[in-house]
Structure 1
Amino acid sequence: MSDFSIRLARPEDAEGFHRVEEDAAALLREEPSLAGIPVPPSTSAEDYRRTIAAGQCLAAAVGDEVVGFAAAGRIGRELHLHELSVARAHQRKHIGSTLLRALKIDAANSGLRAITLNTYRDIPWNGPFYARHGFVEVENFEGRPHLAQSLEDAVALGMPRDRRCAMICFLD
């Protein structure tokens, strides 16, 4: 029996999304291979409110407390995962995996064809995590300019191009 639940995010979850992202970002700041590489600022609660309003975000909660989330938005017939974060005190409890599975089910039930994202290809809880869940690296950005733009945005923030990648999971 799990001690968390997954649900569609509500506007009042925006502060929790921001708080969880801030907490989880500490792992990137502590990652030795990223020493000297800036970690982008967390998304504001106001920006999360706008993303949540689009209706594709999920929250993981323990009681009334948001402990994880998947913030995503539609781009054509695909869903782009902007952020998947779990508070450090609640990691390694399958919350991230459960959020990702629920997001795939919700996207498929909404008639979407795939989920896309941008991430570090070599950080264990980034690229390898998504690969274990059916995501593959995107080699050709044709028809998906948002992925190329997201990669360029990350590079502009100081993230190394050679360590970043776009990934996609096709929904059956």
Structure 2
Amino acid sequence: MAHPHPARPTGTAGNPATGACLPCTIRPACLADAPHLPALERDAAQAFASIPELAWLAGGDVLPLAEHTASIAAQACWVAPSAAGPLLGFVTAHPYGQDLHIQEMSVTRAAQGQGLGRRLLHAVCTAAQKRGLQRVTLTTFVNVPWNAPFYASAGFCHVPDAALDARLASILADEHATGLAAIPRCAMQYAVPAAAECVSK
């Protein structure tokens, strides 16, 4: 179940992010990072407590540890460590054919609004480009400010229902069945260019 947690917008698509940026370097995750990711996601999810229809997500399930370890094994997970060492954010993805699908992206509450979400997206899109993939995909809430509007600001586009492939349609159906239909969700995609940067850091 994908419901990316707060990584608030800090710029516009095609331009460098504005505002304060934390002094950390995004790096590929290692297996030692995996046990820390569920707690980080739980911390980030507390932002949903401010939305009555989604408040249950603040105490809901998080991505299973096995999903993180599989993503790390596929070299499709990135983390944002603080200068002191603890992780401030992560993005877990998985390759599907010519797509790299974001399963979860979370930034800890203390680090939200400081550009980490955009930098994590940049890592995903750059990796997809280097691997010769065609799209980065995800599913998210349509009207939650740090969900679809944030991804749109980074260059992601809404995938209309009529254009959904079987994989994305199945993900949305599963999310609907697990109770995520209280607020509309959608699939989004980023068409990976053959050259040049993807998402600006």
TM-score (norm 2): 0.78
- Of the three residues 128, 132, 136, the one matched with 1:115 is 136
Question: Does structure 2 conserve the Cα–Cα contact (< 8 Å) formed by 1:20 and 1:67?
Answer: yes
Q: Does 1:47 align with 2:60?
A: no
* 2:28 equivalent in structure 1: 8
* 1:103 equivalent in structure 2: 124
- Of the three residues 14, 18, 21, the one matched with 2:38 is 18
Q: Deviations over 1:18-43 (max 9, x none)?
A: 11111111112332353567875101
- Of the three residues 148, 153, 165, the one matched with 1:144 is 165
Question: Does structure 2 conserve the Cα–Cα contact (< 8 Å) formed by 1:141 and 1:147?
Answer: no
* 1:169 equivalent in structure 2: 190
* Counterpart secondary structure, 1:5: coil
Residue identity opposite 1:170 in structure 2: A
- Give the alignment of 1:76-91 within 5 angstroms: 76-91=97-112
* Counterpart secondary structure, 2:62: coil
1:48/1:30 CA distance change after superposition, 3 Å: same
* Counterpart secondary structure, 2:167: helix
* 1:127 equivalent in structure 2: 148
- Of the three residues 37, 61, 75, the one matched with 2:81 is 61
Once residues 30 and 57 of structure 1 are traced to their aligned partners in structure 2, the CA distance between those partners, rounded to angstroms, is 28
| More displaced stretch, 160-169 vs 50-59 | 160-169
* 5+ residue gaps, structure 2: 1-20, 194-201
Once residues 148 and 2 of structure 1 are traced to their aligned partners in structure 2, the CA distance between those partners, rounded to angstroms, is 36
* 1:75 equivalent in structure 2: 96
Question: Does structure 2 conserve the Cα–Cα contact (< 8 Å) formed by 1:118 and 1:167?
Answer: yes
Moved over 2 A (4+): 32-40, 44-47, 140-144
TM-score (norm 1): 0.91
* 5+ residue gaps, structure 1: none
Once superposed, what is the RMSD of the aligned Cα atoms?
2.1
State, as a whole percentage, how many aligned pairs show the same letter: 34
Higher strand share: 1
